């Protein structure tokens, strides 16, 4: 990259650190910044600064928020008897987009993975157990990712919560809408058979 | 995106303006910034600021540079009798990477495209003609993109330069190394036949 000035090489490297951004894309993004009017480029720089200055973690559910409590925890219209447990913040948005869930959330900030040094203690599980005990929660919905780590985490939580008498549910497993049986994996089809439901035409 | 704080929505929008970055990627990049330690995130913000503050356009060839003249124009080892004419700065890097060219460059800052309002006057053509006349240039290499706009621009430059007696060359056209004849387009194969060269085993 000898032909680029030092500051541009640095910008390419900074962009290159971002997830899913390779060398080529990083160069394209740097060239985009070079072409931008100064005010617009500075807008991006200022916004990064603002996010790091303003965004905190909700003290109840660990969602991101500009206040002590997040928008969902402070929303009087949400059903406070349900907690949907997710691994990370983007998962919350995916569920919110469906518009089918009106309860609260709890962000674990990861999943149990002993090989990566992630023990139950390094997640927000203790706080979840306290919420269930103290906040009159009636249902906890397990919405971890559908892989081994997610399943392990859900099983661990189930064992911790079981004695409290709270209802414990998990997201439905089956064939994704729009898919073809022919191309589905054995595990998915097995789930779809095991979890089949009464047809109501 | 109602579940995100205001500043995060703004950051997603800023990322979303960048080329090739869709809504999903913009969200992922914003989440990456959220997770970063403050110093590292600010590093990106500062680098954007520095690039906008430090990077200028070389007054000779229109390459980017932190000085009045770019690294290539000031390099005593470059062959100053050759000018490779390209559309934009990233093209320069692609050629530099090959290590096969040791002359100078001239960045047109685009290509002639009357439909988009880009006339020869809005490019850096006048400056190129002056360089050819005043700087003892012996060869001008046309390295515009191999599409209609690039060809139009090359033809226009050819007409402007022809009378000066300078040697005018263009990049070779043919089949790209590693490709299969079966899948090449007619135009490419026609070029490859017309521009065939003596085989030297």
Give me the residue from A21, A31, A71 closest to B89, CB to CB.
A31
Q: How confident is the model at residue B1 (pLDDT cuts 50, 70, 90)?
A: low
A–B CB contacts, 8 A cutoff, strictly below: 149
Mean pLDDT on A36-61: 94
Instruction: Tell me if A108 sits within 8 A of A125, measured CB to CB.
Output: yes
pLDDT score of B69? 94
pLDDT score of B199? 74
pLDDT score of A186? 86
CB contact residues (below 8 A), chain A span 51-70, against chain B: 51-52, 54-55, 63-66
Tell me the pLDDT tens digit for each residue of B117-134.
Answer: 999 999 999 999 999 999
Q: How many CB atoms lie within 10 A of CB A97?
A: 11
Tell me the pLDDT tens digit for each residue of A158-190.
Answer: 999 999 999 999 888 888 888 888 888 888 888
pLDDT score of A172? 87
pLDDT score of B2? 60
Residue B145 CA to residue A56 CA, distance in Å, equals 48
Whether A10 contacts chain B with CB within 8 A: yes
Kindly compute the dihedral angle of the four CA atoms of residues A163, A164, A167, A170, in this order, to the nearest 10 degrees: -70
Whether A42 contacts chain B with CB within 8 A: yes
Using CB atoms within 10 Å of the CB of residue B143, give its burial: 0 to 12 exposed, 13 to 18 middle, 19+ buried: buried
Q: What is the Cα B146 distance to its own chain's centre?
A: 13
Closest residue in A to B5 (Cα–Cα): A65
Tokens of A132: 């269930």
Whether A50 contacts chain B with CB within 8 A: yes
Closest residue in B to A14 (Cα–Cα): B44
Whether B90 contacts chain A with CB within 8 A: yes
Using CB atoms within 10 Å of the CB of residue A145, give its burial: 0 to 12 exposed, 13 to 18 middle, 19+ buried: middle
CB contact under 8 A, B18 and A29: yes
Chain A nearest-CA distance from B127, in A, is 20
Q: Structural domains in chain B?
A: 6-54 (1.10.8.420), 73-170 (3.40.1360.10), 175-201 (no CATH)
User: What ipTM was reported for this prediction?
Assistant: 0.73
């Amino acid at each position: 990259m000898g032909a680029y000035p030092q500051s541009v090489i640095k910008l390419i490297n900074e962009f290159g650190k971002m997830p899913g951004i390779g060398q080529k894309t990083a160069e394209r993004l740097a060239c985009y910044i070079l072409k931008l009017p100064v005010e617009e480029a500075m807008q991006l720089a200022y916004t990064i600064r603002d996010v790091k200055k303003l965004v905190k973690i909700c003290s109840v559910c660990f969602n991101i928020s500009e206040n002590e409590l997040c928008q969902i925890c402070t929303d009087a219209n949400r059903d406070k008897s349900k907690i949907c447990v997710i691994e990370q913040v983007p998962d919350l948005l995916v569920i919110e987009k469906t518009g089918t869930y009106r309860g609260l959330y709890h962000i674990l900030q990861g999943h149990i993975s002993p090989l990566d040094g992630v023990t139950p203690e390094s997640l927000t599980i203790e706080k979840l157990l306290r919420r269930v005990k103290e906040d009159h929660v009636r249902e906890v919905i397990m919405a971890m990712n559908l892989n081994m780590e997610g399943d392990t985490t859900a099983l661990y939580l189930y064992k911790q919560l079981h004695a409290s008498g709270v209802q414990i549910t998990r997201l439905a497993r089956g064939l994704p809408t729009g898919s073809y049986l022919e191309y589905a994996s054995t595990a998915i089809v097995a789930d779809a058979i095991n979890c089949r439901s009464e047809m109501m035409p």
